[in-house]
Amino acid sequence: MCGIAGYIVPGGDAEAKREVLKAMCDRIVHRGPDGEGMLFRGQAGLGHRRLSIIDLGGGAQPMSTPDGKLSVVFNGEIYNFPELRRELEGKGYAFQTNSDTEILLHGYHAWGPLLLQRLNGMFVFALWDAPNQRLFAARDRLGKKPLYYHHDAHRFLFASEMKSLLVESAVSREIDPVAMDDYFSYGYIPAPRTAFKAVQKLRPGYSLTWEGGKLQLAQYWDVQYKPNAECKTEDDYVDKLQDLLGAAVKRRLLSDVPLGAFLSGGIDSSTIVGLMAKVSNGPVRTFTAGFQDKAFDETEAARTVANAFGTLHREQVIKPDALAILPQLVWHFDEPFADSSAVPTYYVSQAARKEVTVILSGDGGDELFAGYNLYQWKDRYARYKLIPQGLRKTLLGTAGRILPWNAPGRNMLLRVANLEAYDAGEVVELYPPIKSALYTADWTRKIHGHDPVMAIKHWAHAPENHLSRMQYQDTKVYLPEDILMKVDKMSMANSLETRAPLLDYTVVEFAASIPPEMQMKDGRGKYILRKLASRFLPPEIMNKKKQGFAIPREKWFQGELKEYAREILTSGEFKQRGYFRPERVAAMLEEHNRGGRDYSMWIWSLLNFELWHRTFVDAGTRRI
């Protein structure tokens, strides 16, 4: 696992930008504390920070072919590189190292962009083709690793983190109002947008080609929901899943450094730990984050799983004073990010890094196997469709619009009035329409009537089935932009590599072939995954109620963190920005503090936005 960066000067000499590229690499030293490298080939400069995982002595980057015609920087792991290496050696290619990085050089020479179809792994890489003066870059299928870039007539820059691009003064920090509206709709900014107009994110499953000053994007993979021709019964699906997931776990145990697993006590991470225990030579190291508030704590369940498999188990208890690191987390995320589970993710990563360098996680289970409560949306709201659509829109919609912005039930009325719109998009904004009441008139004008639903619609191969369509959309957007972004940034902040067996693309494609009636049964999701897990997990884990990985925001913002939030969100800096109505933000804080309504989601998102603004807009890239 590493960090990459690059600078292309069209028609010029990239080495003239050596100091800029060095600064770009310095910004991401946490992603690669074990080594640094830079390479210049005419108009292209490649930079790398290394976290040594495989071939500790021979995998230094940037790496080039012996003739210097191809050079690459790479962040991630190629899990099937031993098989690809044997295939390429059969074609006459000679390898100088035992690193998976070298696969990219010879693989690109042999197959060109079709190399991407052969890779099984998590990756972002950028390859400079000197004879053709062409840069070819790609992001893995599911988006486990991020790539940011800036493109104009005078330069092309790319990096694993946006802060690297911002060291170049020519990259404008002008905020994108549309991206900010997306943030206050979902808690993250979907690709290709970022917080700044001048910077974009490469979408998962896409490649990027820069040549002659022109940029071309191409999609090379998408998940398609279609029946599996081999499986006839439920047991067939369970057996096939066990084979695929077992192989995915085994592939991810390849490492020259110590590894372990995150363990929450839920079905997903517990299944991964169970499969690891079956094939590991010694006890698995497991790590859990918990809270003093039992409503949010899963340490007991995690302990049950750890005891069942004899793991070497560690627990980290998160307290309100942990938010002293919030400015540091904002710096690592690069743009506003409102998923508060980033806090325990950071701390459990920090604890794990003291003992291991590689960690396995259960990420992806909810999206692939219909685990979210949101997937019961259609059934939950079906009764409201008994009311004629016109009546709902006029009666309930009008009632919702004339109610005060903070009136209880207002958001529910507006949602029910517009059920058809949600059905069409198969999305539900995480943040209710209260945001429009907080925006100033000037900020509203800058958004130009933007519809945030359009930012997360992906219809390329969207299935007709309602449940599958919601899974597809979450797999394409929520998973990479929230879940995987959170895990990447928080683990790499601690120089820890995270691997997700459930997101092996063979498992993802198989999960998409499971019939919807086997995904969710009797109102409960993860039916096939649960049947697999029941073969080896303790019964008390199988019967445990689903519990999200969240912090007790509501109580913290009514107690220990009340003054912290008030100080920042009523400050002169916050008021003068012109984005939000100060009197309504103050009223929201007051109502939350007295227990009238839970506004912790909004308080958290506003805090993150304000701290981000101070860090990246007001103060450039100065680290707090």
Name the percent of the chain lying above pLDDT 90: 68
User: What is residue 269's DSSP assignment?
Assistant: H
Residue with tokens 């499986």: 231
Active-site residue among 1, 2, 53, 119? 2
Look at residue 58 in the predicted model and tell me its pLDDT.
64
345: Cβ contacts below 8 Å, ≥ 6 apart: 289, 486, 487, 490, 491, 549
Helices (H), 280-394: 299-309, 326-333, 342-353, 365-368, 377-381, 389-391
Confidence of residue 298 (pLDDT cuts 50, 70, 90): confident
401 vs 344, which has greater pLDDT? 344
Pairing of strands 44-50, 2-8: antiparallel
Look at residue 624 in the predicted model and tell me its pLDDT.
44
**What is the chain's mean pLDDT, rounded?**
90
How buried is 463 (Cβ within 10 angstroms: 0-12 exposed, 13-18 middle, 19+ buried)? Answer: middle
544 vs 148, which has greater pLDDT? 148
- Evaluate whether 157 touches 149 at the Cβ level (below 8 Å): yes
Cβ atoms within 10 Å of 365's Cβ, excluding its own: 24
164: Cβ contacts below 8 Å, ≥ 6 apart: 3, 5, 24, 25, 27, 28, 148, 157
Look at residue 404 in the predicted model and tell me its pLDDT.
80
Residue 426, pLDDT above cutoff 70 = no
Predicted confidence (pLDDT) per residue in 333-382, tens digit: 999 999 999 998 998 999 999 999 999 999 999 999 999 887 876 666 76
Active site residue 2: yes
Of 201, 177, 271, 257, nearest to 532 by C-alpha is 271
Look at residue 317 in the predicted model and tell me its pLDDT.
82
Pairing of strands 259-262, 285-291: parallel
Tell me the residue type at 86.
R
Of 131, 146, 150, nearest to 20 by C-alpha is 150
- Evaluate whether 195 touches 336 at the Cβ level (below 8 Å): yes
Dist. CA 494–CA 206, nearest whole Å: 28
What kind and span of H or E run contains 64? Answer: strand 63-64
Residue 398, pLDDT above cutoff 50 = yes
Predicted confidence (pLDDT) per residue in 235-279, tens digit: 999 999 999 999 999 999 987 778 999 998 899 999 999 999 999
Of 12, 624, 592, nearest to 327 by C-alpha is 624
Residue 62: is the preceding peptide bond cis (ω within 30°)? yes
Where do the domains of the chain lie, and which CATH numbers do they carry?
2-219 (3.60.20.10), 234-372+465-542 (3.40.50.620), 553-618 (no CATH)
Residue 621, pLDDT above cutoff 70 = no
Helices (H), 216-266: 234-251
Six-digit token pair at 92?
A: 């006459």
242: Cβ contacts below 8 Å, ≥ 6 apart: 532, 535
Six-digit token pair at 21?
A: 């590229």
Give this prediction's pTM: 0.93
Dist. CA 511–CA 528, nearest whole Å: 9
Confidence of residue 387 (pLDDT cuts 50, 70, 90): confident
Cβ atoms within 10 Å of 209's Cβ, excluding its own: 16
Six-digit token pair at 277?
A: 């225990």
Dist. CA 434–CA 458, nearest whole Å: 26
Tell me the residue type at 289.
A
Predicted confidence (pLDDT) per residue in 101-129, tens digit: 999 999 999 999 999 999 999 999 999 99
Q: Is the dihedral of CA 581, 583, 584, 590 positive or negative?
A: positive
User: What is residue 94's DSSP assignment?
Assistant: P
Rg (CA), the chain: 24
